[in-house]
Amino acid sequence: MKAFFSQHQSKHAPELELQNGELVPHAESQARVDAIRGVLKDVETPTNFGLEPILAVHEAGYVDFLKRVHRDWFAAGRPGDAFPYVFPIRGRRPLNLSRIDAELGQYAYDCGTPVAEGTWDTVYWSAQSALSALEHVMDGARAAFAFCRPPGHHAGADYMGGYSYLNNAAICAERALAQGASKVAVLDVDYHHGNGTQDIFYAREDVLTVSLHADPKTDYPFYWGHADETGEGQGAGFSLNLPMPRGTLWSEYQARLVQAIERVQAFSPDLLIVPYGADTYAGDPISYFSIETAEYTDMARLIARLDLPTLICMEGGYAVDALGANVTAFLDGFET
């Protein structure tokens, strides 16, 4: 399977994040890049599609913020990475705030997603990798792998969070529709709910969002991903959330995956986008499912039976020593 990745995607290197009340080394590190890049064989440098596909999903003010936030942070006399630390409560008033601290809170929802000097370059080229993989699939390939990093599925149209800044899956879904697809399904198999993707398409009927994830009653992102979130307006019935408890085994996960696949089949999309996170792995340091490496091949085989043109976008996975093997096992499932 052809993969797409740019060396620019190594420029994002935050030092710390706030997790469970303490500053810890940032989990979305270069070590993840090395682990995955080391197992990919057929890798192409992405084409530059520019800002247009990004701006079809993300608000222009937010994109402008991402491009300049670290520069503005530095100009304000702040050292290191740009960190949000104050947030509006229950919604964001449309205020024209110029202080960088206020802007960070306006466009972020957690303290685990700092903006480093190279963040914009990295997330821009991560989106280009996803768009290039999409083009390969729309040109006739059965599947392609977009080695996106950092993850993207937590990013909304105008906010960042969960290590995510631009939503690669959403950008590609919108691009596919603009290129002639009538319906797109997003089947998210990361440990955490794909809240940004759901939010972007929540009131639409042309994109089905399905997410298998840890129960948000106990796990991040908490405020999204509950089973009763099914869409609104024209999108009513086009969001499906399948939350599961900590400790979920493959046998239990598989039953939910079959349910998800049946919903995708009923939707009959022209394209399938799979945000894949290896953080469902039993040894992941920040997640709590119990899926083993070999079971990722079984997971992918089930999804591949949909027999749809498929774009796979890399999301989470933080057990670095096993990450390459877990990605390989998943990709192998699409080729066997």
pLDDT (tens digit per residue) in 39-56: 999 999 999 999 999 999
Query: Is the pLDDT assigned to residue 92 strictly greater than 70?
Result: no
In the chain, the N- to C-terminal Cα span, in Å, equals 11
Active site residues: 154
Query: What are the φ and ψ backbone dihedral angles of 22, each rounded to 5 degrees?
Result: -140, 155
Question: Tens digit of pLDDT for each residue in 315-333?
Answer: 999 999 999 999 999 999 9
Query: Is the pLDDT assigned to residue 94 strictly greater than 70?
Result: no
Residue that the structure tokens 């705030």 belong to = 97
- Tell me what pLDDT residue 91 has: 65
Residue that the structure tokens 């190279």 belong to = 118
Compute the mean pLDDT over every residue in the chain, rounded to the nearest whole number: 96
- Longest CA–CA span in the chain (Å) reads 55
Report whether 135 contacts 173 (CB < 8 A).
no
- Average of per-residue pLDDT across 208-212: 98
- Average of per-residue pLDDT across 190-198: 98
pLDDT confidence of 27, banded at 50, 70, 90? very high
- H helical segments located in the chain: 30-37, 52-55, 60-75, 100-107, 119-138, 168-178, 195-201, 250-267, 293-304, 320-333
Query: Is the pLDDT assigned to residue 90 strictly greater than 80?
Result: no
Which residues sit opposite 214 in a β-bridge? Answer: 244
Q: In b/e form, how buried is each residue of 269-279, taking b as 16+ CB within 10 angstroms?
A: bebbbbbbbbb
In terms of pLDDT, which residue wins out, 261 or 97? 261
- Tell me what pLDDT residue 243 has: 98
In terms of pLDDT, which residue wins out, 98 or 202? 202
Residue type (1 letter), 85 = Y
pLDDT confidence of 97, banded at 50, 70, 90? confident
Domain boundaries, the chain: 3-333
Query: CATH second-level architecture of 3-333?
Result: 3-Layer(aba) Sandwich (3.40)
- Average of per-residue pLDDT across 209-229: 97
Residue that the structure tokens 């799979």 belong to = 274
- Tell me what pLDDT residue 155 has: 98
- Secondary structure class of 243 (helix, strand, coil): strand
Could you tell me the two tokens for 37? 């890049």
User: Reduced to 3 DSSP states, what percent helix, strand and coil does the chain have, rounded to the nearest 5?
Assistant: 40, 15, 45
- Average of per-residue pLDDT across 216-220: 96
Percentage of the chain modeled with pLDDT above 70 = 98
- Average of per-residue pLDDT across 277-306: 98
